[in-house]
């Protein structure tokens, strides 16, 4: 029971309060970006994972200082610290210093092959190496353990990247994370690979929900976004749960699915798939502020009307230019016709004069004879 209380205090309550107090500062000074509607929002909610990590660390050491036995869920999550810290740090660097000129895993890989390391490429390599370090520290016991080490590495790194691919609409990545967390907890309970049950499993659920609850309202309200820092951290957390909760055969299947979905994202738009399905679209939009949606839709309607008027104006100007060009063509045709008529008259007059002179010469010749 003390483990549940520690989880509520250090992993839920403290991050919630700190993010509520920090949000105005982020709104005032954090880098801004436009979301899918074109609305300007601040990018920095992902820093909640740093707040969560520090609070977690303080709580764990406080329990040790007070000579209180650490709950099993704390000992279970401690090895994940470097991966989460790196995911948040690399993600935050990409959020605040990255460029949109290079996108997707393929784009970052091509840039790396040309000798240029992008911020996105640094993030992927960093999370990958940290995942490998974690897998080695937990599972490497010799050559026979290498497959498990590689599977754990791929599971964490690919889930971190996949979660970032879903972070394209307010709240979407967090909803995917919530479903993934629920499934992971069920798998932990079902397979028993991780020895967590009872209050420890409840505490783990609360710990995983902590960062989500702290920023949910800001993300769904389209005030800020979790960015790569938040999405990659959520993915790394989920990847760790799956990598440690599943037996090797099940983990191999999960990794194959992760590889396929990550590769598919290079060619297919997940947003189009979601928006093309009525049920998925409703779930995707669930929880967003309706007032914000109506205001933004009205704003979009205004922009659409302005664009429509501009297009009509362009069409009218184009039609006017066409009529003017046609008038100029008619004028030129009339002038050419007039010039041709004058030339014909001059030609006829010259012919008449020539014929008259010839007859005169004849008469004069005839008379002279």
List, for residues 128-148, the tens digit of each pLDDT value. 999 999 999 999 999 999 999
Task: Quote the pLDDT of residue 292.
Answer: 45
Reply yes or no on whether the pLDDT at 13 is more than 90.
yes
Q: Which of 47-56, 157-166, 316-325 is least confident?
A: 316-325
Taking only the tens place, the pLDDT of each residue in 202-247 is 999 999 999 999 999 999 989 999 999 999 999 999 999 999 999 9
Backbone angles phi, psi at 231, to 5 degrees: -65, -45
Q: Which helix (H) or strand (E) holds 14?
A: helix 14-29
Using DSSP, state whether 68 is helix, strand or coil.
Answer: coil
What lies within 8 Å, CB to CB, of 122 at 6+ separation is: 90, 93, 94
Per-residue pLDDT tens for 72-121?
A: 999 999 999 999 999 999 999 988 887 766 677 677 778 888 888 888 88
Closest CA to 160 of 125, 185, 193, 186: 125
**Considering the chain, what is the average pLDDT of its residues?**
82
Answer whether residue 338 shows pLDDT above 60.
no
Three-state SS sequence of 318-355: HHHHHHHHHHHHHHHHHHHHHHHHHHHHHHHHHHHHHH
pLDDT at position 156? 97
Question: Which region among 26-35, 55-64, 123-132, 290-299 has the lowest average model confidence (pLDDT)?
Answer: 290-299
Residue pair 41/106 in contact by the 8 Å Cβ criterion: no
How many whole angstroms separate alpha carbon 149 and alpha carbon 301?
53
Read off the pLDDT of each residue in 314-323 and give the average, rounded to a whole number: 52
Angle formed at CA 22 by CA 234 and CA 223, multiple of 5 degrees: 70
Choice between 189 and 300, residue whose per-residue pLDDT is larger: 189
Tokens 């911020």 locate to: 119
Of residues 361 and 42, more confidently modeled: 42
Residue 345 has pLDDT above 80, yes or no: no
Q: Could you tell me the sign of the dihedral formed by the alpha carbons of 93, 95, 99, 104, in that order?
A: positive
Mean pLDDT of 22-41: 89
What would the two tokens of residue 129 be?
């190496």
Other C-beta atoms closer than 10 Å to the C-beta of 35 total 16
Task: Look at residue 321 in the predicted model and tell me its pLDDT.
Answer: 52
């Amino acid at each position: 029971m003390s483990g549940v209380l520690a989880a509520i205090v250090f992993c839920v309550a403290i991050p919630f309060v700190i993010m509520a107090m920090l949000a105005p500062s982020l709104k005032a000074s954090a880098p801004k970006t436009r979301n899918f509607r074109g609305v300007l929002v601040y990018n920095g909610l992902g820093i909640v994972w740093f707040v969560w990590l520090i609070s977690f660390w303080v709580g764990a050491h406080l329990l040790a200082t007070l000579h209180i036995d650490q709950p099993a869920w704390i000992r279970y999550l401690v090895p994940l610290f470097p991966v989460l810290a790196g995911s948040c740090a690399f993600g935050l660097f990409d959020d605040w210093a990255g460029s949109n000129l290079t996108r997707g895993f393929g784009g970052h890989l091509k840039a790396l092959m040309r000798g240029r390391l992008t911020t996105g490429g640094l993030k992927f390599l960093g999370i990958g190496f940290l995942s490998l370090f974690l897998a080695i520290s937990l599972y490497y016991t010799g050559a026979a353990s290498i497959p498990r080490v590689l599977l754990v590495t791929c599971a964490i790194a690919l889930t971190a990247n996949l979660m970032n691919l879903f972070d394209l609409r307010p709240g979407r990545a967090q909803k995917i994370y919530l479903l993934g967390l629920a499934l992971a907890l069920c798998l932990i309970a079902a397979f028993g690979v991780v020895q967590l049950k009872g209050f420890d499993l409840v505490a783990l659920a609360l710990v995983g929900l902590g960062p989500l609850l702290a920023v949910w309202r800001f993300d769904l309200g389209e005030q800020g976004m979790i960015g790569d820092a938040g999405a990659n951290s959520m993915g790394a957390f989920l990847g760790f749960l799956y990598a440690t909760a599943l037996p090797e055969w099940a983990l191999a299947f999960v990794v194959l699915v992760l590889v396929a979905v990550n590769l598919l994202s290079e060619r297919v738009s997940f947003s189009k798939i979601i928006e093309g399905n009525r049920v998925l679209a409703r779930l995707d939009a669930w929880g967003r502020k309706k007032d914000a949606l109506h205001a933004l839709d009205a704003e979009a309607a205004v922009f659409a009307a302005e664009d429509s008027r501009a297009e009509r104006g362009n069409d009218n100007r184009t039609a006017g230019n066409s009529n003017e060009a046609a008038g100029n063509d008619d004028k030129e045709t009339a002038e050419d016709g007039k010039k041709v008529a004058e030339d014909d008259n001059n030609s006829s007059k010259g012919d008449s004069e020539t014929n008259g002179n010839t007859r005169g010469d004849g008469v004069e010749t005839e008379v002279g004879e």
